[in-house]
Amino acid sequence: MIPDAGAAEPLGASVCNGGVNFAVYSRSATKVFVCVFDENDTEIARIALESQKGDVHFGFVDGVGPGTRYGLRAEGPYEPEKGFYFDPDKLLVDPRARRIDRRFVHHELLTARRGEGGDTATLVPKAIVVPGPDGHGNEQPLALKESGLIYEVNVRGFSKLHPDVPTHMRGTVAALGHKSVVDYFLKLGVDALELMPLAAFIDERHLPALGLKNAWGYNPVTFFAPDPALMPGGIDDLKKLTGIYRAHNIPIILDVVYNHSGESDIEGAVLSMKGLDARAYYRHEEHNGGCRLVNDTGCGNTLRCDFEAVQRLVVDSLRYWLEAGGVSGFRFDLAPVLGRGPGGFSPEAELLEAIRNDSALSRVILIAEPWDPGPGGYQLGRFGNRFAEWNDRYRDDVRGFWRGDPHKLGGLATRLAGSEDIFSREGDKPSRGVNFIAAHDGFTLRDLVTYEERHNLANGENNRDGHEHNLSWNNGVEGESEDPAIVRGRKNDVRALLATLFFSRGLLMLGQGDEFWRTQRGNNNAYAQDNEITWVDWDGADMELSGFVGELQRFRRAHRAIFSDRFLTGKPVAGACDVVWLNPEGEEMGEADWHQADASVLGMHLNIEGDEVLVWFNRGRLEIVAQNPSPKPGASWLAGISSALDEVHLTGRQVLLPPRSVLTLEQAQGGEHQKTQANADTQGRIELSVKGGERFLGGHFPPFAGETN
């Protein structure tokens, strides 16, 4: 291995000319070394990168190539109280490593002060030199369909217990490409998969002592290299998966964490960027004559996203997942960090602008989680129209309505209409909002109607962690119950919540397993439960409920009146009002109706381009007789989908709304369903009925593309 001058670009390890060029960014290191390891994990060479251009240390090493295992070491001052952690005994993972040979695991030596511990080489994963992308996976990113159903997936938890997936594939990205899984998503009508983080991560340092492991992956150490447990074949595993779903026109969105790293605070492990140049990679603030790490994330450190070198690291890694992995979009965890500088958050911050304007990234799906614990951390609606945003006000208003909170009709209507009060900038559309009722953070849908309090003792923090404000209800008994009436009531509530979600303007997100009654036993912060609490129980899955969700998606896709990407305003569109809000008497809602504190029923009469749909919402505990508005001459109202487990009766213009239910009706011309129509002008007692999830007129909707009956 003969070192040569090499080149400062590109950063990282690049295969070229019979060797590898190494280029490492560090503004404060006095010297950077590349350490080469053999198959026995023995360091066989330590090569100083003698060349330097600006803040980049670089050199070319002859005689090495793809498959070479290496790490970095850096010399410089060791003054943690001033933001310097240089320690040649700490082997460091290249921040631009494309692959590593094992998972990150905690050890006390990783946190030892300089001179107080031994060498960490045996404890730290080695980076593996890989060739550049081969060009496959460089297809145009897929767009998200207007019907916009995003399914949030934790790769390990979703597949760990899947009975049809071979044992060796369970818990990995490859499991999602198994035919049984693909067929399931096709049957459900999923428009996109959003995969929780895949980048290599480390457990939070307090977890090993508790016998716990991070189950979610929101604690990355590297931004390029995938976690070996999730993607043992490296980036090719993801490339294969995205190719499988591309054949069905289903984009893969990757959840990414560019707000902090797993190196944590001053007491945290030194694994990569902290040992190379913590002052450059992480935000610091003055403290007691020195400085300390800023903790805007609640995770011990904050990535310095207003610094050019970090911005480049983020953009380059995003492009790598796009070009080498074939993903079609990204969801940004704690996204305000990406837009925060010394003056606070700005939607025009340099990093956000770099992502928007990048020639490749400007074409992908971009989703922001628009809040973090830092100053000015709540930024819902401010990321601009290139980003969709998780809409927690949708979540809270819908939960509040179905929980029975007073004065919630207006909030429900606003969310159903697309949340124009939030997304009100020029060019905004309902698709700027990602509507959801449950996600990986918080209760599952089942737990939302089963627990009023969090039950997080298993997390080892005396039930102090997780949200206290859940807007949940338990239907009379805290926790699981064998009482058939309580179970039935809870399932009715979940069906009503799901129907509300699918009949709302905007993008939709469904958390894994919420479509078939998944529980986390009341744990609303299950990040540390890599066990049966987060592993999907396929044997206990309620596939009848899953089938109901598929019917909801079919109904949504069949009606532009529901999924159209225009805000509902109540104003005429092509000669007809796009929405009329109705009271139970079938009359347009008046001021007094909106301000009735205990009102339990709301009708939504949609009319878009001749497609008319009527949706009734009844959160009350009693049946309610509602009056449907008069249909067009020669037409009638026909029941579509009901969330209720009980039958729904439609007699003439009257409909009996079951308790805690959502019901849709479609307007059809007289000849369309001659044998079963209920004409609004009929004076007789023609009764039609529909049970929850069944479409009692015209049979079931046609299958989704790629799905067989």
The β-bridge relationship of strands 601-608 and 611-618 is antiparallel
Q: What Å distances lie between residue 664 and 608, 673, 690, CA to CA?
A: 15, 17, 11
* Residue 365 backbone class (left: φ over 0; alpha: ψ -120 to 50; beta: rest): beta
Which residues, listed in sequence order, are joined to residue 635 by a DSSP beta bridge?
A: 669
Question: Helices 543-558 and 484-502 sit at what angle, rounded to 10 degrees?
Answer: 20
Which residues, listed in sequence order, are joined to residue 638 by a DSSP beta bridge?
A: 666
The β-bridge relationship of strands 365-368 and 388-391 is parallel
Edge-to-edge strand ranges of the sheet holding 579-582? 579-582, 601-608, 611-618, 661-669, 635-642
Using DSSP's 3-state secondary structure scheme, residue 582 falls into strand
Identify which of 199, 299, 193 has the alpha carbon closest to the alpha carbon of residue 249. 193
Identify which of 335, 514, 532 has the alpha carbon closest to the alpha carbon of residue 439. 514
Contacts of 577 (CB under 8 A, 6+ apart): 570, 571, 607
- Rounded Cα–Cα distance for residues 419 and 394 (Å): 8
- Sequential DSSP letters for 120-157: -TTTSPPEE--PPP-STT-SPPPPPPTT-EEEEE-HHH
What tokens were used for 44?
Answer: 């066989």
Supply the residues annotated as catalytic: 333, 369
Which class for 4: exposed (0-12), middle (13-18), buried (19 or more C-beta within 10 A)?
Answer: middle
The β-bridge relationship of strands 572-573 and 576-577 is antiparallel
The β-bridge relationship of strands 661-669 and 687-690 is unpaired
DSSP run (H or E) holding 290: strand 290-293
Identify which of 554, 543, 549, 535 has the alpha carbon closest to the alpha carbon of residue 180. 543
**Phi, psi (deg, nearest 5) at residue 428:** -70, 145
What tokens were used for 556?
Answer: 């949504």
- Rounded Cα–Cα distance for residues 237 and 215 (Å): 20
